[in-house]
Amino acid sequence: MSDLFPICLRPDCNKAGTEHVCILPHQEEFLSFKEQYVYWQGGVGGAKTTTAVVDVLLRLLLIPNNRALVIRKDYQDLFDSTWLTFQRCVERAVAKGVIRKPKWGIKEKGTPTRCLFQNGSLAAAAHGKSLGKHLGSEWGVILIDDCMEFDLTILTGGDKPTAGLMSRLRLAQAYYASVGGKVRDFRRFTLVTNPPAGKASWWSLFGENPGVGKFGDGAAWRHFQTSTVANIHLPRDYYHTIAAVRSERDVERVLHGKSLVHFSGKPVLAEFDVVRHVGAFEFSRKIPLLISIDFGFQHPAVVFGQIRKCAYQEDHLIALSEITNVFDATIWQLVEGKQGYPEMDCLLKHLSQRYTDTSRDLIFYCCDRKGNSVSSSNPKGLNDARILADEYNISCYSRGIALDPSLKYMRRLLTTFCKCGYCKLLIDRSCTLLIEAYSGGYRYVQQRGGVYSEKPVEDHYYEDPADAHRYLVENFLSLGSTHFLGSVVTVSHPTDAF
């Protein structure tokens, strides 16, 4: 195995003066993993690509007639980095006499994209524009380098018939591999990435922090994190130079591989303050439960809330919970759940678990007015609001205010405080993504010339709970609590209701 890694060039190595290889502890740890899916999030320069490529080559050499797909979204990055690393790894193996020289073929712009070994195993390189050619094949090994460049649909397929690359990891030679005299499942799907600047949709599958899990009753996965400092082959000043121009929090993310959110741009609702607007609030079965839905296939969102009236007879809208961990879902999957993804939330499960025994007569829904006209989640062309009404008996309010007036209304409410001491808008601390959105994730991006975009960035992540919350305000708070069956909480002290 050591013959596949680069030669150690460190002058301070105790083996300096001889040709040798120093495999790092975190590289050995990665190569020892048994899980079928490995999500590796590590600091820059942490030797992730080299190690992942060695793992691919090992599996090709150990298992005859195995097939591996090496992917990176950008053509230039693929052939200047990931696939180049693979080529050099193969060249070292040939030079050391580990394998015979393989056959390289099917060139793209002069660079071979296939590598056929003497044992019948094949490696193929693919970038974003050529990936479609490989979705009809079966693979035993798949590596996506810098996976943050893609969204989840490359893995899951979304609403496409192919069901994504997950459905292609089924090569019999890898599944029934004979290694060391034993038959075992030797398939591997590796996803490598630098730490993202914001919340990553990939975390919905592999978690935000290191750990292991399973896809329902299916394959096991592992979330692996490493630091830049783990790579002792880097220049001595590499870490400190990068750290010197980064904030302390950014150093933890960029260099130590931590899952920390970093926002660039200008918050859409700068008036939001975690201290003043976030707290712990209880649900009351005596008053209506208000539910707002932001439709969308990539990342739908749902916000649940109630309107309370304090002792000063002022209405306060409280966001009690959210559904924000559903991705690539049709309207039916948003309501009923996605098969094989028990960790993902859905409307019916959330209602039964969080709002048990709530009378249907006390539940009111609202949605984006676009839900009454378009749908991206079904081939019949029925709009999402119509599907909710016809199939689930769910009717939605949808007043629909233009974006700018709606945001002005939100800003006014976030700065309006009642005599009771509470703001007109309050958020329960369990609404983590909504809180992160208002803390800077829901933002305007800076463009050329230093000016900011006129509309919030459409990131299919933070914008969705923010929009759902805005629809909740537009459709219900402006009507007042007494509009919904006289939903007034009688209190003896101004803050007892909260």
Cβ neighbours of 362 (radius 10 Å):
18
CATH number at residue 462: 3.30.420.280
| Token pair listed for 332 | 């039916």
Residues 221 and 312 in one domain: no
pLDDT value at residue 157: 81
pLDDT digits (tens, 9 = 90+) for 271-321: 999 888 998 899 998 899 999 999 888 889 999 999 988 888 889 999 999
Residues 212 and 91 in one domain: yes
Residues 203 and 153 in one domain: yes
Helical axes 403-414 vs 463-476, angle rounded to 10°: 80
- CB–CB of 467/456 below 8 Å? no
Residues 391 and 300 in one domain: yes
Q: Which residues of 80-110 are buried (b: 16+ CB within 10 A; e: fewer)?
A: eebbbbbbebbebbeeeeebeebeeeeeeee
Question: Which of the listed residues 204, 222, 254 is the one where a domain comes to its end?
Answer: 254
Which has more confidence, 73 or 260?
Answer: 73
- CB–CB of 162/135 below 8 Å? yes
| Within-domain flag for 153 | yes
pLDDT digits (tens, 9 = 90+) for 336-386: 987 666 667 899 999 999 999 888 889 999 998 776 666 655 656 678 888
| Within-domain flag for 261 | no
Measured over the CA atoms of residue 331, residue 335, residue 336 and residue 339, the dihedral's sign is positive
Four-point Cα dihedral 277, 281, 286, 288, nearest 10? 40
Cβ neighbours of 25 (radius 10 Å):
10
pLDDT digits (tens, 9 = 90+) for 421-434: 899 999 999 998 99
pLDDT value at residue 197: 72
Helix, coil or strand: residue 67? strand
Residues 276 and 387 in one domain: yes
- CB–CB of 468/369 below 8 Å? no
- CB–CB of 466/472 below 8 Å? no
Please report, for residues 108, 325, 345, 366, 384, the alpha-carbon distance to residue 394 in angstroms, rounded to integers and kept in the order given. Answer: 53, 22, 18, 10, 11
Residue of 411, 395, 392 lying closest to 403 (CA atoms): 411
Residues 71 and 157 in one domain: yes
Pairing of the two strands 278-279 and 266-267? unpaired
pLDDT value at residue 162: 66
390 sits in which H/E element:
helix 384-392
Whole-prediction pTM = 0.64
Percent of the chain with pLDDT over 90: 56
Residues 67 and 188 in one domain: yes
Residues 236 and 95 in one domain: yes
Residues 158 and 293 in one domain: no
Helix, coil or strand: residue 279? strand
| Within-domain flag for 488 | no
Number of compact structural domains in the chain = 2
Residue with tokens 């290889």: 21
Average pLDDT over residues 457-463: 89
CATH number at residue 50: 3.40.50.300
Angle, vertex CA 448, rays to CA 444 and CA 454, nearest 5: 30
Question: Which of the listed residues 223, 254, 285 is the one where a domain comes to its end?
Answer: 254
321 sits in which H/E element:
strand 315-323
Domain that holds residue 384: 266-483
396-397: strand order across its sheet: 278-279, 425-428, 315-323, 301-309, 289-294, 363-367, 396-397
pLDDT digits (tens, 9 = 90+) for 200-258: 778 888 988 999 999 988 999 999 999 999 999 999 999 999 999 988 878 998 999 99
Rg (CA), the chain: 26
| Token pair listed for 452 | 């900011």
| Token pair listed for 191 | 């996803």
| Within-domain flag for 399 | yes
| Within-domain flag for 493 | no
Residues 43 and 184 in one domain: yes
Mean per-residue pLDDT of the chain: 88
Residues 299 and 225 in one domain: no
Residues 231 and 314 in one domain: no
| Within-domain flag for 293 | yes
| Within-domain flag for 260 | no
pLDDT digits (tens, 9 = 90+) for 162-196: 678 999 999 999 999 887 788 999 999 999 999 88
Residue of 315, 319, 314, 310 lying closest to 290 (CA atoms): 319
| Rounded Cα distance, 188 and 69, in Å | 11
